[in-house]
């Protein structure tokens, strides 16, 4: 596995080594030993999620209160998505910045994001299937969102899928009414860098 730290501190792109023949492909999409060596901490697993989305579905930007927060290890097992991480940690040198990783069935990459970072993705194909390993379980009272189309963040979401067809963004009601980054910060709802498991 190859690990590359993204420009947002506390987030990594993971590219597995694939072994293929005429029968198909085998790969390790998560390995605790190499993960801990690269990231500097183990991933404690409390919950595993699976999300299936039509082309154009835009999910996020989601985050959890810190502490304890929720670290995520994410990959796409069918279709393709642009997976985005946003630094929502007030006081972080990269606060408000974002980075992205294309998750698809060609390179079969994964992305890891530590507690305090925001996460979202855009499905680029129908039936795009994303699976997550999570360090803590879902707690609706501690889960929040920032609007994924906030111009202050300025995420460059794709407008076409890999087949060249235009994408029409579809957001949940909760994500459509999510606050901007500035509003969430003013309301005191964002995590703080000093409370995060990773000191940026």
Is 144 catalytic? The answer is no
Position 191 in a domain:
yes
Position 200 in a domain:
no
User: Residue 10 is part of which domain span?
Assistant: 2-195
Percent of the chain past pLDDT 70, that is, above it, reads: 98
Position 90 in a domain:
yes
Residues 113-158 have pLDDT tens digits of 999 999 999 999 999 999 999 999 999 999 999 999 999 999 999 9
Position 89 in a domain:
yes
Whether 138 contacts 110, CB under 8 Å: no
Residues 39-55 have pLDDT tens digits of 999 999 999 999 999 99
CATH code of the domain containing 156: 2.60.120.10
Is 73 catalytic? The answer is no
Query: Is 0.85 surpassed by the pTM of this model?
Result: yes
Find the catalytic residue in 62, 119, 144, 147: 62
Say whether pLDDT at 199 is over 80: no
Find the catalytic residue in 3, 132, 169, 192: 132
Say whether pLDDT at 57 is over 90: yes
Nearest CA to 46 out of 117, 135, 176 is that of 135
Q: How many domains does the chain have?
A: 1
Residue 5 main-chain phi, psi, to 5 deg: -75, 135
Position 129 in a domain:
yes
Position 164 in a domain:
yes
**In the structure, what pLDDT confidence band is assigned to residue 197 with cuts at 50, 70 and 90?**
low
Check residue 30 and give its pLDDT: 97
């Amino acid at each position: 596995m190859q690990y590359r730290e993204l420009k947002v501190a506390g987030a990594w792109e993971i590219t597995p080594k694939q072994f293929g023949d005429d029968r198909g492909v085998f790969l390790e999409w998560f390995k605790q030993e190499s993960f801990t060596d690269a990231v500097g901490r183990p991933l404690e697993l409390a919950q595993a999620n699976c999300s299936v989305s039509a082309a154009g579905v835009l999910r996020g930007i989601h985050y959890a209160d810190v502490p304890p927060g929720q670290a995520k290890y994410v990959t796409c097992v069918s279709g393709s998505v642009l997976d985005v991480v946003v630094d929502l940690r007030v006081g972080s040198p990269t606060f408000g910045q974002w980075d992205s990783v294309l998750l698809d069935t060609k390179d079969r990459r994964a992305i890891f994001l530590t507690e305090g970072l925001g996460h979202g993705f855009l499905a680029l194909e129908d039936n795009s299937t994303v699976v997550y390993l999570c360090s803590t379980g879902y707690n609706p009272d501690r889960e929040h969102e920032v609007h994924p189309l906030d111009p202050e963040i300025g995420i460059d979401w794709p407008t076409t899928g890999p087949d060249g067809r235009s994408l029409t963004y579809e957001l949940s009601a909760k994500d459509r009414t999510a606050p901007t980054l500035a509003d969430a910060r003013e309301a005191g709802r964002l995590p703080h860098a000093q409370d995060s498991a990773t000191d940026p």
